[in-house]
Amino acid sequence: MAKRPDDMTQNPEQSAEKSGRGWPRWSIWLILILIGTFIVYPAFNSSDDSTAIPYDQFLSKVTAEEITQININNQSGKIEAESLDGTVYKTTGPLELSPSDRQILDESSASVEFKTPQPGFFQTWLPLLLPVGLIILFFWWINRRAQGQMSGMMSIGRSRAKPYSSEQPGTKFEDVAGYEGVKQEIREVVDFLKEPEKFSEIGARVPKGILLVGPPGTGKTLLARAVAGEAGVPFLSVTGSDFMEMFVGVGASRVRDLFETARKMGRAIIFIDELDSIGRKRGAGLGGGHDEREQTLNQMLSEMDGFEASEGIVMLAATNRPDILDPALLRPGRFDRQVVVPLPELEDRREILDVHAKGKNLSEDVDLDLVARGTPGMSGADLSNLINEAALIAVRNSEDAISAEHFEAARDRTLMGQKRESMALTAAEKEAIAYHEAGHALCAAVLPNADPLHKVTIIPSGMALGVTMQLPAEERHIYRQDYIEDSLVVRMGGRIAEELVFGVASTGAQDDLVGATELARKMVREWGMSDRIGPMAWGSQNQVFLGDDLMHSRDYSDDTAREIDEEVKTILHNQENRCRSLLTENRNALDLVARALLEHETISGEEVMRLTKLAESTDSASKSATEPSHAD
């Protein structure tokens, strides 16, 4: 298997050694070791068999004619003397001998020799060469740094794309779970890169560019790698931010270098991730467009479909903001085809869970079909994180396998946040939270169009003090008006329950009111669900930074705006009255659910349904008991 170029990158020592430019770093250490050896070795290698004696004893032996040879060092005053029996004595005398000592030496029969030793090579030149060497090394280091900076400046206009060989990446379509429709749409690119003759014979032209559009985490980059793996052609991967630089014109230069590199490879795939960072609409935004970004975009438009056609080069790009891309980038001849990579459906989630569950020790009670049904709206990245979170919880609990309970805890953490069981709540606050969540739960259990209730908890999780979780029974792609109205009632349930029980509202319904108001405003302004306003859509949803609405006035009058506000207010009041009537009729059920929450802190949706039916049967029995009987 061929190695990736970035895997074969040499370290600085290897690259310097192979290129021949400069010494490898280990050679400097070798030179220092050799110099130290020459300096230290003579001191350790000198063998000394002499006997040290005092200076006066040395003179006594000279006077007694026991010494035959005397060597005196004029610089240090050290004296070496050899006796008649061959013994060598060592002593240290004065640097300048006194007349009496000199007379003793002259009158003795010993041979006296005065020596002045000459310094060695290192002792002579090392004090001079060391500063000079340090200065030379300093300037050499400065020169190397300057060369590195200059080489970086010279290569600033080169593409930063990571090339992969024909055998890399090894990802195939079979490694991508689900998304069969998406795979079918981009399989034509694979067939063209494998057999271009089949398309040229019939006169067909393969799309030059395919834009993968979808929410974050849906696997757009993985699909692009799978296309390269299936086609078996070189693959150049780059992100949109790699083209941007503080110097004007660098982005355009990198685009040119990217396409030149791809042309040298023959047939190749260029993949640009996060295309929206350089492909935004030109001339939009506060203060006009960014010159560097627009030059980069213009160069890319020219390379994709300019005077020089890029035959055999297919561009893949990924973005989660197709609405902000420049129209010239999306026209035929550039990105001809947009492939939507949506959030996975139920069957896709099941296959994705199978892929990420490989290598995990799952318990027998784990039903991945149930997990897939309970994770609507999750992307592939979310599902991968869910399984990993369940594994972490299993390890934290010292379990040998991942059980269904761990998956449930991981989903709660993902959807609701980390539980804050240590948070101290007063008894009054806990009771208010219990009735608040009981109001939500009861509305969800009773209303026919609401999503099924999954669980209710008054344990603080994330930023919420309590959570009521609903899970849809099936995938929804459109929402009916009665479903939205029941959703508003469920959102109002917590606040109305507090008012019925305690006679006063609290700040706990802030998030509920924000969501309900936004939902009601969309019903009036965007979805035409108001008889008073009629089937009209008001207000653009474009972002200000795109520049589309910056100088554009509001497309409805002040009277219409007042009517919209009044209609939103009417819808919210109507659903609030529905909620109040529902909770008043089921007051006993509300008390039962709240008491169960105070006792157990977390109850399931099935338990809420059981308590609701129990309260209904109790109410029916008490009502029948109070009704007067009539004898025939």
What are the residue numbers of the active site?
437
Q: Is 521 helix (H, G, I), strand (E, B) or coil?
A: helix
Contact (Cβ atoms closer than 8 angstroms) between residue 542 and residue 549: yes
Q: Which helix (H) or strand (E) holds 271?
A: strand 268-273
Contact (Cβ atoms closer than 8 angstroms) between residue 379 and residue 215: yes
Per the structure block, which two tokens stand in for 409? Answer: 């805890």
Query: Which residue type is seen at 483?
Result: Y
469, 458, 461: which is closest to 431 by C-alpha?
458
Environment class of residue 217 by beta-carbon count within 10 Å: exposed (0-12), middle (13-18) or buried (19+)?
middle
* SS3 readout for 318-387: EECCHHHECHHHHCCCCCCEEEECCCCCHHHHHHHHHHHHCCCCECCCCCHHHHHHCCCCCCHHHHHHHH
**Position of tokens 């398309």?**
199
Cα first-last separation, the chain: 96
Rg (CA), the chain: 43
Alpha carbon separation from 127 to 40, 42, 124, 239, 598 (Å, rounded): 15, 18, 7, 56, 86
- Core vs surface per residue 127-137: b (16+ CB within 10 A) or e: eeeeeeeeeee
Q: Which helix (H) or strand (E) holds 456?
A: strand 453-457
- Quote the crossing angle between the two packed helices 605-626 and 587-600, to the nearest 10°: 140
Alpha carbon separation from 174 to 335, 349, 368 (Å, rounded): 26, 15, 20
Given the DSSP bridges, would you call strands 235-239 and 162-164 parallel, antiparallel or unpaired?
antiparallel
DSSP code, position 461 = B
Number of neighbours of residue 138 by Cβ within 10 angstroms: 10
247, 237, 260, 252: which is closest to 160 by C-alpha?
237
Environment class of residue 556 by beta-carbon count within 10 Å: exposed (0-12), middle (13-18) or buried (19+)?
middle
99, 96, 98: which is closest to 114 by C-alpha?
96
470, 434, 466, 476: which is closest to 450 by C-alpha?
470
